[in-house]
């Protein structure tokens, strides 16, 4: 009976040892499982964090690229607008230059027309004065016709052209007297002074004629001139040619 009790006690002790070892093994496995679970959870959280960080980086990169693209679009837009404004300004400049050239052409035509008319009127006055002088000479002269009537007429007209008859012709014609005073006094300063006086009379400033020549200004003044002033302006067109001022800048003469 004692032997049986001892064996029973040994079996009981062995059973407890086995149970304890089993519990220890179970505890170790449970601890390992918890450790592995914790590590897995940590890795999962880290993966989520890394993923979110990568997503944020990707979003930031995309936003940066979008901003750069929008900035490039704006830059190209501003460059296109600036180029458009530049080309528009160049086109307007060409248009203004063309308009100015056209206006200058019109004024030159008016000037040429006025000069031609002045020459016609001067020739008319000369012819009338010559006829009057010749008539007076014929009234008081004792004439002996030698060599035929044509030769006689040529001699008379030649004498008039060379002698005192020319002086009387000029003195008796107001138009020719103005021509003499203006064309042949050899004083360009007088011409400039008279041009300034007319410019003031018609309210024309240096700014109004800054891009025009003297000939163009005189033609411009002729548009509004009448009577005696118009006649003198026509005369001055010829004087401008004599003093080489027709193509000179008006601002240089009027300053």
**pLDDT digits over 144-161, tens only?**
544 444 554 555 455 445
Q: How far apart are CA 213 and CA 187, in angstroms?
A: 19
Three-class secondary structure of residue 144 per DSSP: coil
Question: What's residue 20's pLDDT?
Answer: 86
Q: Are 156 and 137 in contact (CB under 8 A)?
A: yes
**Per residue in 40-78, pLDDT tens?**
777 777 666 677 777 788 888 888 888 888 888 888 888
Q: When comparing pLDDT for 193 and 168, which is higher?
A: 193
Q: How far apart are CA 47 and CA 188, in angstroms?
A: 100
Q: What six digits make up the tokens of 81?
A: 């607008």
Among 188-192, 217-221, 245-249, the range scoring the smallest mean pLDDT is: 188-192
| Interval 218-241 mean pLDDT | 77
């Amino acid at each position: 009976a004692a032997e049986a009790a001892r064996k029973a006690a040994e079996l009981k002790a062995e059973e407890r040892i086995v149970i304890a070892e089993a519990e220890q093994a179970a505890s170790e496995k449970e601890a390992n499982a918890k450790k592995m679970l914790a590590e897995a959870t940590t890795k999962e959280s880290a993966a989520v964090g890394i993923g979110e960080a990568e997503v944020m980086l990707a979003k930031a990169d995309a936003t940066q690229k979008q901003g750069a693209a929008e900035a490039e679009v704006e830059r190209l837009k501003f460059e296109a607008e600036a180029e458009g404004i530049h080309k528009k300004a160049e086109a307007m400049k060409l248009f203004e230059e063309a308009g100015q050239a056209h206006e200058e052409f019109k004024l030159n035509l008016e000037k040429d027309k006025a000069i031609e008319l002045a020459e016609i009127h001067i020739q008319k006055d000369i012819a009338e004065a010559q006829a009057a002088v010749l008539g007076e000479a014929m009234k008081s002269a004792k004439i002996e016709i030698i060599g035929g009537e044509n030769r006689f007429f040529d001699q008379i007209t030649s004498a008039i052209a060379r002698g005192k008859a020319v002086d009387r012709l000029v003195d008796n014609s107001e138009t020719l007297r103005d021509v003499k005073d203006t064309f042949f006094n050899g004083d360009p300063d007088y011409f400039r002074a008279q041009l300034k006086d007319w410019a003031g009379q018609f309210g024309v400033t240096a700014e109004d004629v800054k891009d025009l020549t003297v000939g163009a200004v005189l033609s411009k003044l002729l548009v509004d001139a009448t009577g005696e002033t118009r006649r003198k302006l026509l005369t001055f067109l010829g004087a401008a040619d004599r003093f080489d001022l027709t193509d000179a800048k008006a601002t240089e003469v009027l300053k």
